[in-house]
Structure 1
Amino acid sequence: MSTDRVGASVMDGLVLTDHHCHGVAPAALDRAGFEALATESSWPPPAGTSTFDSQLGFAIRRWCAPLLDLEPHADPEDYLARRRELGPAEVNRRLLRAAGIGTFLVDTGCRPEELTTPKETAELAGGEAREVVRLEHVAERVAAKGTEPPSFAADFAEALAEAARSAAGLKSVAAYRCGLDFDPSPPSARDVERAAARWLGDEARAAGTAPRLEDPVLVRHLLWTAVELGKPLQFHTGYGDPDADLLRCNPLHLAGWLRATRGTGVPMMLLHCYPYHREAGYLAQAFPQVYVDVGLAVNHTGARSAAVIAESLELTPFHKALFSTDALGLPELHYLGAVLFRRGFGRAAARWINDGEWSRRDAERVAGLIGFRNAARVYGLEGP
């Protein structure tokens, strides 16, 4: 049997849990708006070029076009025209429902006013959704409401506990705010108050603004406050937009934090990881509370995603790997994340089966672990 047929049979009927994603854009997108969501760059491509000329762009035209009643590899102009003709609601429904994702864990801390809520995302997809609460977003909301430096720690703790009450997990973008090479020790109350005073300066408070939280002392405080709640804690690591220093996003920088928190029992979820997915696999093997995914990279590596998926499983224990898309804005990203994961894992597993390295039974079991069972166990979700 061919590799593709073996791989497809291994993945047959697998309903996925996306343990980290965002909502979709409910409004119509022009070409510039679409292309801005199809890249991690913060800037438009050079004049006369297009973000469609990328692994992700080619994958959209190959795999998503048929769901919009177009031939595979449709021209970008035809693809976008058909998108406009169908309208955003229909495009969102078609692509989300075709993804075969049963549960979405939705990070609500990025552009919440521009994207669907977890409930709206689930309704479009015909599935279930739970929220993932972003620590820095909660802290900035607290600041916007007028907290004072002496009361910031208590105000944040109260706000986070309330926001997390029904959430599946918590998330930090420390990688973007101060890098992952932060001091892992908990800051003292006095240090937190002093840092809050610097952050909540007179000018910011007088203007009623919510300043961006970048102080490493406060970031550490948010993280230790989150640990006290006991919920899985997600970290952005590796690949992302230019707001982050990729060198400081290497998950190996978290080794001190992982040692400091090992005794808490709080699961530490390393998101994305690429191009440090092998390093992340080592951490997942070495530390009992560490889990990894390569979600964002799968979409953006397109035709090469099978190699990334296989590499991510070189060291990662199979009960420590999870599926995610990190899709934001475009339902194409949710759909592609699922399609490319199924194809990539299926192809890797088929090679190992055909070479006699894996049994088909084991391949099917591991597909289920990564696809949904690990997420169900770690996040306490109901599932098969």
Structure 2
Amino acid sequence: MGAVQEALDALKLTDHHCHGVVTADLSREEFEPLLTEGGAWPGGSTFDTPAGVAVRRHCAPLLDLPRHAPAEEYVARRAELGAREVNRRFLTAAGTDVFCVDTGYTPHRLTSPAELAAAAGGTPYEIVRLESVAEAVAARGVEAGEYAGAFRAAAEEAVRRPGVVGVKSVAAYRTGFDLDPARPSDPEVTEAARHWLAGGGGRLAEPVLVRQLLWTAVDLGLPLQLHVGLGDSDIRLHRSDPAHLTDWLHLTAGTIPVMLLHCWPYQRQAAQLAAVFEQVYLDVGLALHHVGPARSRAVLEEALEITPYRKLLYSSDAYGVAEFHHLGALSFRRALAGLLQDRVDADELALPDALRFAEWAGAHNARQVYRLPWPS
């Protein structure tokens, strides 16, 4: 084992974007859809995907099973241990001590940020999803001309909650990034709100209101997380290319940090933005546990071709099953250690620098940009 791998294995990670895990015991029919972004399909098993294979290889031993345990044995052992013990084992094994939890997506009953962190002996923080705030404002009832003020007030109230350190938008899912980058005018927002509310509100996908949401995020002053690339069937992948954000990033220069989440298959586009815009940071979370340790280095290596080392962060984007917290951390540590160690061995990078950059990506960069307290 190389020196960089030893250092990363010992490092407590800061997961700057993740979700809670399911608290109920799961049958195989309930568990399998959580293994992929596409859910389970008739006639096939999600265990027969790169993520499913990685779970059987790297997660089975933590359940006291042999590597590559058959799917039926894996699910049976999971049920035997119970959700509480399964979650504890995987969250502890991840070696993460800071969790920044997106609480805006809850089709399942999930752990709260405090419950998630407690299972790992870590510290919880919250990320506010702004589309959820907007949709809650509409659901309560609001006139079109009052929508902008009501949304801003609700967003300001949400970010004042204890433990909130950032906000998030899923504009990539709702409209894509190929939007007019300018801040919309008040009349534009009122007209768009009138159209949205007349249709019953619900899912926010009005381009003008999404633009207003992004500019409200700038006004809030906290780091803004943006989902980029890989997602479920709701996303139009070609519209989630972060290169579409270029003009908006020019207009918002000098304001808030912009965190490009996940990025696959656009990790190179994201890297270019991080290299030329001071406010842009990135991770390759979500992709890492879906490609698994076998391919995580290839994804991370492309992201790090030109990304400044102080701009790379760790996230798992684990949702639903605690296995993905463990797989995300394992994939990240192995991928980053391997590529940095190879550069050291080739005399392209000094070992002290490699160790410093590993610690930056795994913990330091996130703590700095979200203004989190440093461990004593």
Q: TM-score, with normalisation over the residues of structure 1?
A: 0.95
> For the residues of structure 2 that align with 1:9 and 1:121, how far apart are their CA atoms?
26
Q: Show structure 1 runs of 5+ residues with no match.
A: 205-209
The corresponding residue for 1:301 is 291
The corresponding residue for 2:51 is 56
> For the residues of structure 2 that align with 1:113 and 1:185, how far apart are their CA atoms?
36
Compute the displacement of 1:263 (Å): 2.8
The corresponding residue for 2:86 is 91
Matches within 5 A, 1:8-87: 8-41=5-38, 43-47=39-43, 49-87=44-82
Matches within 5 A, 1:239-254: 239-254=230-245
Secondary structure (helix, strand or coil) at the match of 2:128 reads strand
Secondary structure (helix, strand or coil) at the match of 2:177 reads coil
Stretches of 4+ moved more than 3 A in 1?
4-7
**Identity across the alignment (%):** 53
Compute the displacement of 1:112 (Å): 6.3
**Of 172, 176, 179, the match for 2:173:** 176
RMSD across aligned positions (CA)? 1.2
Matches within 5 A, 1:266-305: 266-302=256-292, 303-305=294-296
> For the residues of structure 2 that align with 1:229 and 1:140, how far apart are their CA atoms?
18
The corresponding residue for 1:187 is 184
Secondary structure (helix, strand or coil) at the match of 1:305 reads helix
Q: Does the 8 Å contact 2:254/2:279 carry over to 1? A: no
Q: Does the 8 Å contact 1:10/1:360 carry over to 2? A: no
> For the residues of structure 1 that align with 2:125 and 2:84, how far apart are their CA atoms?
21
User: What per-residue deviation string (whole Å, max 9, x for no partner) do you get for residues 196-227 of structure 1?
Assistant: 110101x62xxxxx511100000011111111
Q: Does the 8 Å contact 2:22/2:108 carry over to 1? A: no
Secondary structure (helix, strand or coil) at the match of 2:337 reads helix
The corresponding residue for 2:104 is 109
Count residues in correspondence. 372
Compute the displacement of 1:6 (Å): 4.2
The corresponding residue for 2:113 is 118
**Of 339, 344, 351, the match for 2:342:** 351
**Of 253, 256, 269, the match for 1:262:** 253
Secondary structure (helix, strand or coil) at the match of 1:328 reads coil
Secondary structure (helix, strand or coil) at the match of 2:146 reads helix
User: What per-residue deviation string (whole Å, max 9, x for no partner) do you get for residues 256-276 of structure 1?
Assistant: 110110032x00000011111
> For the residues of structure 2 that align with 1:261 and 1:341, how far apart are their CA atoms?
30
Compute the displacement of 1:57 (Å): 1.1
Q: Show structure 2 runs of 5+ residues with no match.
A: none
Q: TM-score, with normalisation over the residues of structure 2?
A: 0.97
Secondary structure (helix, strand or coil) at the match of 1:109 reads coil
Compute the displacement of 1:5 (Å): 3.6
Match for 1:27: what amino acid? A
Secondary structure (helix, strand or coil) at the match of 1:27 reads coil
